[in-house]
Amino acid sequence: MTDERTAVLEVAGSAKQAAAQLRLLTRNQKDAALIAMADALEAAIPEIVDANTRDIQAARSNGTSDALIDRLTLNADRITAIARALGEVAGLPDPVGEVVRGYTLPNGLQVRQIRVPLGVVGMIYEARPNVTVDAAGLCLKSGNAALLRGSSSASHSNRALVAVMRQSLVESGLPADAIQVVPGESHESVTHLMTARGLVDVLIPRGGASLIQNVVTNSTVPVIETGVGNCHVYVDRDADISKAVSILLNSKAQRVSVCNAAETVLVHRDIAPTFLPAALSALVEAGVIIHADEAFAAAAQALGYGTVPVTDADWEAEYYSLDIAAGIVDNLDDALAHIQRWSSGHTEAIVTDSQSAAQRFVAGVDSAAVMVNASTRFTDGGEFGFGAEIGISTQKLHARGPMGLTELTTTTFVVTGDGHIRG
């Protein structure tokens, strides 16, 4: 056994022990610890920003894109927001102990299905240090130990954040090993975590397609798959032009470095002549580069706007940039067929004043979230009222969509009798 594998298994083992203690905590104990962690993070802003600056400098030296650097950056305002999110999690109902269903059998046995923690939750994620705090906070509230394996590009930031939270746990009388950074920065350390079956109860990968696919394909630990966000906005024949332009612009350009940003717009042919003048003006003013099919390109050219030809890679892309694929479709069914072919199953939006069109769209797309007359940017645990989220699942088992506290639990059946024996 290599030294690195030994180190990974040791932290997984200590996390397992910490998880056994967390199962016994009351809501008041967990909430007090979360509030203390939030206060500690705000008090440590200078140290955290200093650590983050080292990561940003290294990222710039490595030629990292501006969008990814934005995901990596922590400043005082962002740290304050992260800390406040912990306070919001403390204020949420505790799912542990919730009775999912309960009944009494004819023989008098009382059966209850209750929510319990998953145990040890491993997070494998890329350059988003806010995930470090979100994951730790949600795991603590739901009674789970968190094993955090961020990317090397955020190593200084992640270690600074975890050091503050671990010290806060100790001061709250909780086990420090409830929150740990997985040792090592090589690909092998990720492999060791993915194969720590029996010590780690579930893995949640959060990042690009290659990272997620690697974990899903190679892990022997159960995986909750989060997915890339190739999100679509479909502008229906019966859309309100002003609403459609506003929703499209917000979906694409409000923040490009997130998985719920729109990457494709599809426009019904009948509304294109009235929608495109305003839409193209807004997109171009925002600096968006349009990768257009032939029909969209011809309409844009007639209005004096340039586009670049769309490719299959564009239809499939999660850009993380001010780029959007664009097409004109003959009808709603064509839009659904396009989305079925190219969507990553994250979020799709329809803009329409037709109730029947909205109902058909909702029934026809197979994604974790569907927006009707609303921006794709709303697919978010905070926006859904969950508090901070641990990720957005695009799979269909156990959890789908934004994952909050409830999704970090499983269930146990508790059966209570009075000397019952089975005949």
Give residue-wise pLDDT tens across range 255-301. Answer: 998 899 999 999 999 999 999 999 999 999 999 999 999 999 999 99
Nearest-5° Cα angle at 115, 401 to 87: 65
User: What pLDDT is attached to residue 1?
Assistant: 57
Residue with tokens 């009775």: 99
Print pLDDT tens along the chain (423 aa).
579 999 999 999 999 999 999 999 999 999 999 999 999 999 999 999 999 999 999 999 999 988 789 889 999 999 999 999 899 999 999 999 999 999 999 999 999 999 999 999 999 998 789 999 999 999 999 999 999 999 999 999 999 999 999 999 999 999 999 999 999 888 889 999 999 999 999 999 988 788 888 999 999 999 998 878 999 999 999 999 999 999 999 999 999 988 999 999 999 999 999 999 999 999 999 999 999 999 999 999 999 999 999 999 999 999 989 999 999 999 999 999 999 999 999 999 999 999 999 999 999 999 999 999 999 999 998 898 876 788 899 888 888 999 999 999 999 999 999 999 998
Q: Which residues pair with 206 in a beta bridge?
A: 125
Distance (Å, rounded) from C-alpha 334 to C-alpha 268? 9
Structural domain spans, the chain: 3-225+395-416, 231-378
**Contact (Cβ atoms closer than 8 angstroms) between residue 350 and residue 264:** no
Q: Could you report the per-residue pLDDT of 54-101, keeping only the tens digit for each?
A: 999 999 999 998 878 988 999 999 999 999 989 999 999 999 999 999
The hierarchical CATH code for the domain 3-225+395-416 is 3.40.605.10
- 231-378 to CATH, choices 3.40.50.970, 3.30.300.130, 3.40.309.10, 1.10.3720.10: 3.40.309.10
The stretches of 23-154 forming alpha helices (DSSP H) are 27-43, 45-61, 66-72, 76-90, 129-141
DSSP summary character for residue 376: G
What is the pLDDT of the chain when averaged over all its residues?
A: 95
Output the CA torsion sign for 193, 194, 199, 200: positive
